[in-house]
Amino acid sequence: MEEIIRFGVSIEKNVLNKFDEMIKKENYPTRSKAIGDLIRESLIKREWLKGGEVTGAITLVYNHHRRELVDKLTDIQHDYHNIVISTLHIHLDYDNCLEIIAVKGNAKDIVKLSNLLKSTKGIKHSSMIVTTTGKEV
């Protein structure tokens, strides 16, 4: 079994109050579990940014009436076809589309793809969800 270490943390009172409120809403049983999750998440993110094989999802929200934008997004995804596993397209309303792009591959390539998509003119919002392939965690 993994050895458990106790350690003290100094932090502003109002930050800790907000943190306690947040973890209560998220049903964390203890502060230790919540802090442990935050640390693990941070380690996974750094692991991601170092490179190696990882998985994740890129989300895009945009107006599909901008045809040149749709073409550009398709071109970019074809340029990175080796890391795009699947794309889910949802017609949110008359104008707006949500695209969820599942990716797997080298972390640096995924970050590059995400940045290219995000910076495309006309994208209303883009986010990247990073996770592990599960082999190292």
Q: Where does this chain bind Ni ion (CB under 5 A)?
A: 64, 91, 97
Nearer to Ni ion among residue 73 and residue 97 (C-beta)? 97
CB of 83 to Ni ion, least distance (A): 23
Nearer to Ni ion among residue 97 and residue 103 (C-beta)? 97
Q: How far is CA 3 from CA 6, 34, 47, 82, in A?
A: 10, 18, 22, 41
Nearer to Ni ion among residue 48 and residue 62 (C-beta)? 62
CB of 80 to Ni ion, least distance (A): 20
CB of 92 to Ni ion, least distance (A): 7
Cβ-Cβ contacts under 8 Å for 13 (sequence gap 6 or more):
none
Q: Over the range 7-20, which residues count as b (16 or more CB within 10 Å of their CB) and which as e?
A: eeeeeeeeeeeebe
Q: Say how many C-beta atoms besides its own lie within 10 A of residue 34's C-beta.
A: 17
CB of 90 to Ni ion, least distance (A): 7
Nearer to Ni ion among residue 97 and residue 107 (C-beta)? 97
